[in-house]
């Protein structure tokens, strides 16, 4: 996580730096890819959906932070849009990994996907636009 620490330090000194939750979304995405490539092949010996379970857990953890952020948003700011876009991209990436990992399962990965409730980042942006108008 050294990349995350250096990104955080840099973001304090730059006027147009990414918000921390956007940085966290990118770091979680990198972690998920690394987990899929490095750990899941080994863990599949004990559980057939190792990568799917890992990304579902990462999805839930980031989702908790995102919910707190969304509940505190009162206006459509550039930072809010950056965070919500990063969250949307992270969600797409995590779901893709879960689907790829569970393609051979009996239910085609539906059980794992059900454990990943949508972030609804686009809906949050739409609601903020409605408030703004």
DSSP structure class, residue 113: H
User: What is the band of 124 on the pLDDT scale with cuts at 50, 70, 90?
Assistant: confident
pLDDT tens column, 11-44: 455 555 679 999 999 999 999 999 999 999 999 8
pTM value is: 0.82
Mean pLDDT score of the chain: 85
pLDDT above 50: residue 1: no
Number of structural domains the chain divides into: 1
d(CA 49, CA 101) in angstroms, rounded, equals 6
- Which residue range forms the structural domain that includes residue 102? 2-132
Q: 63 vs 3, which has greater pLDDT? A: 63
d(CA 87, CA 67) in angstroms, rounded, equals 11
pLDDT tens column, 102-119: 877 777 778 888 889 999
Whole-angstrom CA distances from 11 to 6, 14, 33, 65, 84 are: 9, 5, 24, 19, 18
Q: Closest Cα to residue 81, out of 26, 19, 30, 13?
A: 19
């Amino acid at each position: 996580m050294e990349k995350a620490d250096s990104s955080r330090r840099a973001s304090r000194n730059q006027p147009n730096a990414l918000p921390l939750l956007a940085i966290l979304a990118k770091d979680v995405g990198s972690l998920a890819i690394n987990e899929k490539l490095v750990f899941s092949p080994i863990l599949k010996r004990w559980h057939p959906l190792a990568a799917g379970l890992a990304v579902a857990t990462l999805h839930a953890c980031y989702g908790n932070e995102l919910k707190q952020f969304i509940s505190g948003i009162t206006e459509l700011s550039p930072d809010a849009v950056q965070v919500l876009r990063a969250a949307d991209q992270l969600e797409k990436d995590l779901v893709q990994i879960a689907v790829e990992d569970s393609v051979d399962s009996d239910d085609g990965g539906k059980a794992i996907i059900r454990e990943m409730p949508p972030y609804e980042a686009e809906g949050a942006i739409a609601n903020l636009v409605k408030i703004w108008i």
